[in-house]
């Protein structure tokens, strides 16, 4: 090959390498941006598929207390008053306040629950036991630790106590299943006391089947939910 052509070829290759070195980081940024966009879209799609608690426009706007984290005091909850068209039906009411709690406060630092978690279902049993079924994100996206998990559960129970007096105690499920812990620390096998009127507390007299801390009616409801989730 002519030495002149060799020089030209070498020069062209060098130029290509320099161009690639400049362009590749920009390409990488674009790919990452596109990936984030896809993830957000998937999350949005999932949220759109979830049954949203119907809000009746006929219901009057009511001031409700939501319990979010305190900015000043570490590990404390503070009531924040917001206005909602709150339903009279206790189940819808519970769904409304829990969805508002999940949507989070204006100040992201006061959040107690992960922003991508969703309430999948909520039931109230005749004995006043509420069953809240959350998506997996409540376990996977929550900051790990006793304090943060305790704060998450307390924000749910205190918000329900303030706004849905029919719920006396609460069972938390994750994706229709009974979970051992929230994220490795706080025990979810038990019932959480919501209302002071629940004199029996979390220790109900109903017999539990072996291997379960749950009283029989609640166990039955959990099993029903589990079957429904499997069918989906």
Footprint on this chain of other proteins (rule: CB under 8 A)? 74-75, 143-150, 180-181, 184-187, 189-190, 192, 201-203, 208-213
Closest contact distance (angstroms) between CB of 181 and other proteins is 5
Token pair 């920009």: residue = 26
Q: Exposed, middle or buried, 113 (CB in 10 Å: 0-12/13-18/19+)?
A: buried
- Of 97 and 152, which CB lies nearer to other proteins in the complex structure? 152
| 30: its two tokens | 């674009």
For 17, the 3-state DSSP assignment is helix
Is the CB of 62 or the CB of 146 nearer to other proteins?
Answer: 146
The crossing angle, in degrees rounded to 10, of helices 90-103 and 146-163 is: 140
Closer by beta carbon to other proteins, 92 or else 138: 138
Q: Min. distance of Cβ 192 from other proteins in angstroms?
A: 8
- Structural contact between residues 98 and 66, judged by C-beta atoms closer than 8 angstroms: no
Nearer to other proteins, 56 or 189 (CB): 189
Angle, CA of 129, 82 and 63, to the nearest 5° = 75
The distance of closest approach from Cβ of residue 61 to other proteins in the complex, given in angstroms and rounded to an integer, is: 34
Pairwise CA distance, residues 16 & 176, whole Å: 56
Cβ 78 to other proteins shortest distance, Å: 16
Q: How far is the CB of 72 from other proteins (least distance, A)?
A: 12
Nearer to other proteins, 26 or 108 (CB): 108
Q: Which is nearer to other proteins, 67 or 96 (CB)?
A: 67
Tell me how far apart the alpha carbons of residues 136 and 179 are, in angstroms, rounded to a whole number: 10
Decide if 86 contacts 59 (C-beta within 8 A): yes
Which residues are registered as beta bridge partners of 193? 169
Shortest Å, Cβ 102 to other proteins: 18
34's CB contacts (< 8 A; 6+ apart) are none
């Amino acid at each position: 090959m002519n030495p002149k052509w060799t020089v030209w070829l070498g020069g062209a290759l060098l130029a290509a390498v320099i161009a690639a070195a400049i362009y590749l980081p920009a390409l990488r940024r674009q790919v990452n941006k596109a990936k984030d966009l896809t993830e957000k879209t998937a999350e949005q799609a999932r949220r759109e598929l979830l049954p949203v608690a119907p809000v009746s426009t006929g219901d009057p706007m009511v001031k409700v207390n939501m319990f979010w984290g305190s900015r000043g005091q570490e590990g404390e909850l503070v009531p924040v008053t917001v206005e909602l068209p709150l339903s009279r039906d206790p189940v819808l009411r519970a769904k409304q306040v829990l969805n508002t709690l999940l949507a989070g406060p204006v100040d992201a630092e006061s959040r107690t629950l992960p922003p991508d978690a969703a309430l999948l279902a909520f039931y109230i049993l005749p004995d006043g036991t509420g069953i809240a079924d959350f998506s997996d994100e409540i376990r996977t996206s929550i900051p790990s630790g006793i304090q943060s998990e305790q704060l998450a559960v307390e924000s749910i129970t205190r918000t329900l106590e303030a706004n849905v007096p029919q719920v006396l105690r609460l069972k938390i499920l994750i994706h229709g299943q009974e979970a051992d812990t929230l994220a490795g620390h706080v025990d979810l096998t038990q019932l959480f006391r919501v209302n002071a009127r629940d004199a029996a507390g979390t220790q109900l007299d109903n017999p539990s089947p072996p291997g379960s801390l749950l009283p029989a009616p609640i166990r039955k409801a959990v099993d029903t939910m589990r079957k429904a989730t499997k069918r989906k």
